[in-house]
Every structure is written in C-alpha cells, then in structure tokens.
Amino acid sequence: YKVGDVARDFSLKNVDGKTVSLSDFKNQKGAVVIFTCNHCPYSVAYEDRIIELHNEFAAKGYPVVAINPNDPVRQPEDAFEKMKIRAKEKGFPFVYLADETQEITRAYGATRTPHVFLLKNDDGKMVVSYIGAIDENTEDASEVKEPYVADAINALLKGETPKIAVTKAIGCTIKWKK
C-alpha cells in the first residue's frame, strides 16, 4: 500500500484463538496496524512502546492491531504457540494476529518488523495515512525526538494530514515462506 490507498479487510487468528477482522474496527476512528514478531530484536525493543501507543490511543479511536507476518518454519520463535506465550508474558492489551498465509503482509507491502501502517476510517473505508517506523530511536525510548506514529495519530485526531506520512521502517526482514 501507499499513503491514500484503501486497506482491504482481513480475517486472522488472534492469540486467544478467535478470528479478528479489520472490519471489527469499523466503529473506531482508525487502527494502528503493526507488523511485528517475537524473535526480532527491533520488535522486542519496541514492545513497550507499542503497548504505550495502544494505551494512549485506543480510547481515542486508534487501537493497535499487531500482526506477526513471519513463517514459523523459517523462524520457530514466531510460531503461534510462542506468540500466545509472548502476548501473555508482556500483557499485550491489543490483538496479536498470525498471518499464516502471509497474504495480508504481501497486500500491505510490509518488509520489516516492526512496520507500521496507520489507517484512518473514512466513511467505513480504512485509508492508509502513515507508513513506516514507530519513531527514530530504536535503542532508547527516552531519547525519542520524533514519535512518528503518535504525531501522525494526533494530526488525524485534529482533522489534519500527518506532516510526515512515510518513513523508513527499521527492523528485521520478514521471514517469507519458501
């Protein structure tokens, strides 16, 4: 996807065993779709910030929807059973979905973990409003100067277009099925 594209609906399995669809969020102002995983050190470094994003913005209409894009054959740490363990250990307050066919990951064009696609609900259509990194500082959350996703959501909440709509996602490559 590019900024301005309409994201298609999907139905993926959540760590609680239930199926979650993008259309389940039709009463929200949007969604923060984040392709992330268990094993990648970048994803692990961002877990607390992803929880914070959800805690800050879900009540304002922008919940986090985390999707694990990786092939568990190529990366066993990202198997569904391990996703359930990780979500429980960290107390994820958001859904953590498995893209077992990798079809949704391909549709979005995600290439890294973590990779963010901020969607804005525009009359029932989820429109891509920001793509890229969570912020500019993987190593140290306390040193973040550019909270890209938070800034983009705050702009949308004010009825504005995000000033920065695309950044480079930094992280591990997605482990594609062979």
Buried b (16+ CB within 10 A) or exposed e, 149-176: bbebbbbbeeeeebeebebebbbbebbe
For residue 37, give Cα distances in angstroms to 69, 75, 97: 7, 10, 10
Rounded Cα distance between 84 and 14, Å, is 9
Strand 95-98 with 64-68, pairing: parallel
Residues of the chain with pLDDT under 70: none
Rounded Cα distance between 160 and 158, Å, is 5
